[in-house]
Amino acid sequence: MSSVKLLAGRAVLLGMLAAAGGCAVGPDFVTPEADLAQMTLRPREGQPRQALSADPVPREWWHLLNDPVLDALVARAWDGNLDLQAAAARVEQSRARAGVALAQLFPRVDLDASLTRGAISENGPMAALGAPTSTTDLWRAGFQADWEIDLWGRLRRQREGAVATLQATLYEQRSAQVALSAEIARQYVALRGVQTRLDIARRNQEIAAHLLRLTETRLRNGVATRFDLSSARAQKASIDALIPPLREQQNVLLNALALLVGQPPRSLDAQLSTPRPLPDAALELPVGLPSELALRRPDIQSASARLHAATAAIGAAQADFYPRISLAGGFGTRALQASDLGLWSSTEFSIGPRIYLPIFQGGRLVRMLELSEAKQREAAIAYRQTVLRAWHEVDDALNAMVTQQQRQQALRQAMMQSRDALRAAQSSYKQGAADYVTVLAAQRAVLESELHLSNAATGSVLAVVYLYKALGGGWAPPPHDAPNQQALHAPGTAS
């Protein structure tokens, strides 16, 4: 008994010392530097109407648009969006894989028991030697254990890669939150813009109907001509034709928003069909500092974590070239009678090392190492591309915000002038100094300028939405943001 304990203790101690003294082969990951030294958070030309401050980007940036309906929609989407739920499920998958990778570092202990009933042939050689041929039972119960000593860090590199993949999946979940928040805001702003244009078209439809009735009256009084009547009817028909496609756009946007909040078609019609003014951004927009962009953009953080996982995979591939040493053992009892299983004379045990050394595998290990190195280079390129794309998106959004606001200001002046021209044309027509075509042309110019101004106003708000999406605003840490500590840093259950 003492010799068994001594041998087992020495084997376990040897394994612990070997594991503690072992090194992890392969390159260690170093967080790459995001080359944003030349980045500026200022438009290329001109200045936006809002002041841009260096204050941190707010998590719930859509509150800057001052629309409680939009705030409620984003909250509903975070609870009900199916893409976010799928992203959360992917996080749980990665967390489970990381737990599996951690479990490989610990010994595996299994309990097994068996009962075997058998008999030997009465005409066989064993019977000829005098062995009993009656039916016998063989009872067995015991434990089996196996532990790979991670001398070269193969298992540790695999765990490192699994944890990095979990981190990447968490950041991808945050990317989904960023995209969802921006898409809700984009669709909502577009809906309010369409409703504004629909209201403009309907008001002009009423004006056109009034002018048509006026023309019919003037024709009966002999003041207008048939040409004036036909022109008035054509003008009204043209305005009538604007309304159906705008209604269609409204319905499409209503359904798009319903899908984003995880609801069936038409479920938001009652809430959103009533027109509201176009959201207007706050007078000061916090955009943070350029140096914070890499930390704030979850896609950059995800790309960095993917690079980390690819770097760890190189170490795991390199470790495959080295010997693997495992400690295996078993302890149990075996007897012909169940009542004898508890006797020390029925015990049996085995313990000892097992060594695996690859000799020839046809170049498989070399190719696996080359594959992991190529994947690491691809991940590094993907990281640099993600940083560069983020820089471009922020710069484009800043410039778009300025140009859209400049366009909106110019179109507002154009609309005011068009309205003045319409009033002058109507006055001249009543006095007989202008024909009806002049009035219709002036009315058409007012309609076009109002529609263009509405488009520009919508574009100005959308530019703010695009800016905050580019800045990485709109995500919150999930309820279990950090990797599950119990799953990653403890052996957990026996299974």
Task: Look at 80 and 1; give whichever has higher pLDDT.
Answer: 80
Q: Is-contact 318 158, C-beta < 8 A?
A: no
pLDDT band at residue 22 using 50, 70 and 90 as cut-offs: low
Contacts of 449 (CB under 8 A, 6+ apart): 411, 414, 415, 418
Count how many Cα atoms sit within 13 Å of the Cα of residue 183 in the half-sphere of its side chain. 19
Give the phi and the psi of residue 189 in degrees, each rounded to 5.
-65, -40
- DSSP codes, 195-225: HHHHHHHHHHHHHHHHHHHHHHHHHHTTSS-
For residue 317, the model assigns a pLDDT of 98
Asked if pLDDT for residue 490 goes beyond 50, the answer is no
Encoded tokens for 236: 């009204």
Domains of the chain: 1-26+110-129+137-149+325-357 (2.20.200), 31-105+152-321+366-489 (1.20.1600.10)
Q: What percent of the chain has pLDDT over 90?
A: 72
Of 320, 69, 363, the residue nearest 192 (C-alpha) = 69
Strand partners of residue 166:
none
Buried b (16+ CB within 10 A) or exposed e, 369-382: beebbebbeebbeb
Of 68, 186, 187, 54, the residue nearest 464 (C-alpha) = 186
Asked if pLDDT for residue 13 goes beyond 60, the answer is no
Q: In this predicted structure, which of 80-94, 314-328, 364-378, 477-491 has the lowest mean pLDDT?
A: 477-491
How high is the mean pLDDT of the chain? Answer: 89
Asked if pLDDT for residue 138 goes beyond 80, the answer is yes
Asked if pLDDT for residue 30 goes beyond 90, the answer is yes
Of 296, 189, 310, 195, the residue nearest 243 (C-alpha) = 195
Q: What's the average model confidence in pLDDT over 201-228?
A: 91
Residue type, 402: V
Contacts of 424 (CB under 8 A, 6+ apart): 442
> Cα(290)–Cα(299) distance, rounded to whole angstroms?
16
> Cα(245)–Cα(277) distance, rounded to whole angstroms?
20
> Cα(400)–Cα(393) distance, rounded to whole angstroms?
10
Distances from the Cα of 40 to the Cα of 262, 396, 399, angstroms: 38, 12, 12
3-state secondary structure of 281: coil
pLDDT band at residue 434 using 50, 70 and 90 as cut-offs: confident
> Cα(325)–Cα(148) distance, rounded to whole angstroms?
6
Kindly report, residue by residue over 253-281, the tens digit of the pLDDT.
999 999 999 999 999 999 999 999 999 88
Of 482, 480, 483, 477, the residue nearest 99 (C-alpha) = 483
Give the phi and the psi of residue 301 in degrees, each rounded to 5.
-65, -40
Query: 277: which DSSP letter?
Result: P
pLDDT band at residue 476 using 50, 70 and 90 as cut-offs: low
Q: Is-contact 393 470, C-beta < 8 A?
A: yes
Encoded tokens for 315: 């170490």
Q: Is 112 exposed, middle or buried (0-12, 13-18, 19+ CB in 10 A)?
A: exposed
Kindly report, residue by residue over 338-349, the tens digit of the pLDDT.
888 889 999 999
Q: Is-contact 326 37, C-beta < 8 A?
A: no
pLDDT band at residue 14 using 50, 70 and 90 as cut-offs: very low
Write out 410-443 in H/E/C secondary structure: HHHHHHHHHHHHHHHHHHHHHCCCCCHHHHHHHH
Asked if pLDDT for residue 221 goes beyond 70, the answer is yes
Give the pairing of strands 347-356 and 324-335. Answer: antiparallel
Of 63, 48, 50, 69, the residue nearest 277 (C-alpha) = 69
Task: Look at 259 and 6; give whichever has higher pLDDT.
Answer: 259
Within 221-297, residue ranges assigned H as helices are: 226-240, 243-260, 269-272, 293-296
Q: What's the average model confidence in pLDDT over 268-297?
A: 91
Of 190, 61, 73, the residue nearest 457 (C-alpha) = 190
C-beta neighbour count of 471 within 10 angstroms: 25
Q: What's the average model confidence in pLDDT over 455-481?
A: 83
For residue 494, the model assigns a pLDDT of 41
> Cα(66)–Cα(56) distance, rounded to whole angstroms?
19
Indicate the pTM of the whole model.
0.86
Encoded tokens for 336: 């012909």
Encoded tokens for 108: 């595996």
Helix (H) / strand (E) containing 306: helix 298-319
Of 57, 12, 40, the residue nearest 391 (C-alpha) = 40
Asked if pLDDT for residue 322 goes beyond 90, the answer is yes
- DSSP codes, 330-349: EEEEEESSGGGTTSGGGEEE
> Cα(459)–Cα(463) distance, rounded to whole angstroms?
6
